[in-house]
Amino acid sequence: VQLVESGGGLVQPGRSLKLSCAASGFTFTDSYMAWVRQTPKKGLEWVATISSRGTTTYYPDSVRGRFTISRDYAKSSLYLQMNSLKSEDTATYYCARHGLRINFDYWGQGVMVTVSS
């Protein structure tokens, strides 16, 4: 299993950024997928989940309405569209595969997002 994130960087508050995650080594169509972020101060925070068929998405209140998770089966890729970014969205973002019990059984290497003027 391999998950490789890309698309991070420095962005101004209020702007948008889209993260990508290329998945390989497992049946992408069978797996729920997620994004999790981490900061030294706040620790690990689950950000979004998408069902295996892409029909259902879940978000915490902190990002709902601003972030959108999506997936492309032809490219075996996961995405996170982040709009109206705030300084508190600054974090390392991980792409992760959900295990059978909604835990996270595989993680990418992470990508840094910095929201600052």
- Residue 108 as a binder of another protein (CB under 8 A): the answer is yes
61 contacts another protein (rule: CB under 8 A): yes
Residue 28 touches another protein, criterion: CB under 8 A: no
Other beta carbons less than 10 A from residue 100's beta carbon = 7
Query: Which of 106, 109, 111 has the alpha carbon at shortest distance from 25?
Result: 106
One of 22, 45, 83, 114 touching another protein (CB under 8 A): 45
Phi, psi (rounded to 5 degrees) for 28: -60, -35
Q: Where along the sequence are the contacts to another protein (CB under 8 A)?
A: 43-46, 49, 58-61, 94, 99-110
